[in-house]
């Protein structure tokens, strides 16, 4: 069974630009969540999508948004990038809210 | 306000000895606790979990202990092996299971197993 895949793995952008990250969950998983990992803050929850609907949202500004498609694939968008957005962005999937999550390898975003 | 705290950023243990990773939480509504392990350039992988109705859960070399009155949990690895060198994240949720809803992570502890 293929795991969670994320593309691209590495990305370099400049301040003010926008970026879109992609996540393909494990087959059969309908819930996709996004996390930001930084050395100072650890793993912070961004949002969760289930059946194309955002079900939960963390404490991040509106520049961070996402969506989920009918095949459960999800994208995350960050607009007007700031230096502080440099982080590892992790995607995780599970069947529903009551199961442990499986994480992808992450996308390393560097904002210059 | 950090609801899940891992106060040791790093821990060094000799191979074959016991590794003890600690985690404290402040939210009394947390009902389910998990440990994740993360290698560089990979996403976290689920290791072991415990429900608040238990005080111990064991899986091979890994045991998690929960002290609800102290709002403290610990992960014991016995014996420690070189492949255990990784960052360990403690996570807590007010709901059963380990889904994203309400899941809060600590900042992680980097475990280094010395040969």
What is the number of alpha carbons within 13 Å of residue B16 lying toward its C-beta?
1
Check residue B106 and give its pLDDT.
94
Which residues, in sequence order, are CB contacts of A24 under 8 Å at separation 6+? A4, A5, A6, A73
Average pLDDT for chain A: 93
Contacts of B100 in chain A (CB under 8 A): 31, 33, 45, 48, 56, 92, 94, 97, 101
d(CA B16, CA B1): 37
Check residue A2 and give its pLDDT.
78
What is the pLDDT confidence band of residue A84, given thresholds at 50, 70 and 90?
very high
B49 at A interface, C-beta within 8 A: yes
Check residue B45 and give its pLDDT.
93
Q: Is the pLDDT of residue A97 over 70?
A: no
Residues in A 2-21 with any Cβ partner in B closer than 8 A: 4
Q: Is the pLDDT of residue A108 over 80?
A: yes
Contacts of A48 in chain B (CB under 8 A): 99-101
Whether A97 sits inside 8 A of B97 (CB atoms) is yes
Q: Is the pLDDT of residue A1 over 70?
A: no
pLDDT over 90 for what percent of chain A? Answer: 79
The full DSSP string for B37-99 is EE-TTS--EEEEEEETT-SEEEETTEEEEEETTTTEEEEEESS--GGG-EEEEEEEESSSS--
Q: Is the pLDDT of residue A95 over 90?
A: no
pLDDT digits (tens, 9 = 90+) for A44-83: 999 999 999 998 888 899 999 999 999 999 999 999 999 9
Q: Is B110 helix (H, G, I), strand (E, B) or coil?
A: strand
What is the number of alpha carbons within 13 Å of residue A22 lying toward its C-beta?
7
Give the pLDDT of chain B (115 residues) as one tens digit per residue.
Answer: 689 999 999 999 999 999 999 999 999 999 999 999 999 888 999 999 999 999 999 999 999 999 999 999 999 999 999 999 999 999 998 887 767 777 899 999 999 999 9
pLDDT digits (tens, 9 = 90+) for A6-34: 999 999 999 999 999 999 999 999 999 99
d(CA A11, CA A86): 10
């Amino acid at each position: 069974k293929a795991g969670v895949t994320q593309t691209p793995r590495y990305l370099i952008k400049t301040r003010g630009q926008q970026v879109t990250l992609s996540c393909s969950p494990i087959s059969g998983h309908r819930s996709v969540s996004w996390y930001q990992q930084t050395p100072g803050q650890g793993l912070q929850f961004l949002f969760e999508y289930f059946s194309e609907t955002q079900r939960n949202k963390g404490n991040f500004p509106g520049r961070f948004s996402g969506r989920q498609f009918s095949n459960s694939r999800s994208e995350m968008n960050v607009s007007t990038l700031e230096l502080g957005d440099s982080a590892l962005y992790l995607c995780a999937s599970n069947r529903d809210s009551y199961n442990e999550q499986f994480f992808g390898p992450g996308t390393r975003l560097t904002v210059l | 306000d950090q609801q899940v705290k891992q106060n040791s950023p790093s821990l060094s243990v000799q191979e074959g000895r016991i590794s003890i990773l600690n985690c404290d939480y402040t939210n009394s509504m947390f009902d389910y606790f998990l440990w994740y392990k993360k290698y560089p350039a990979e996403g976290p992988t689920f290791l072991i979990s415990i429900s608040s109705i238990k005080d111990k859960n064991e899986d091979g070399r890994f045991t998690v202990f929960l002290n609800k009155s102290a709002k403290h949990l610990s992960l014991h690895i016995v014996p420690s092996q070189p492949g255990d060198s990784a960052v360990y994240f403690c996570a807590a949720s007010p709901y059963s299971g380990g889904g994203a809803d309400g899941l809060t992570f600590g900042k992680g502890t980097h475990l280094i197993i010395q040969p």
